[in-house]
Amino acid sequence: MSTASYAAQGNPKAGKKKVAICLGCHGIEDYKTGFPSVYHVPRLGGQHPEYIVKALQAYKKGERTHPSMTGIAQPLSDQDMADIAAYFGAQK
């Protein structure tokens, strides 16, 4: 199934139950993290669901590297990713 198909099948209500760990970094305005280096953490609210799914898949496959994000993405199913993406995509 394509990235867009997964995002289209996401359930924002189910995603709301799966984003607590995400909000610890991605839900804070102008948040910067110090691991593995200092950088700006992007807000995910309002982001295109397809982009979020593609990014999570890339972390899971090791195509994108960040220790925290890789660890978070590894156990996610395709449906989890779609639901999370739908939740953030529905935000303003």
pLDDT band at 8 (very low <50, low <70, confident <90, very high): low
Q: Read out DSSP for 11-72?
A: -HHHHHTT-HHHHHHHTSTT-EE-SSS-EEPPP-TT--HHHHHHHHHHHHHTSS--HHHHHH
Residue-wise pLDDT tens digits, 36-78? 678 788 889 999 999 999 999 999 999 999 899 999 999 999 9
Q: What value does the mean pLDDT of the chain take? A: 88
Domains of the chain: 3-89 (1.10.760.10)
- Give residue 81's pLDDT: 97
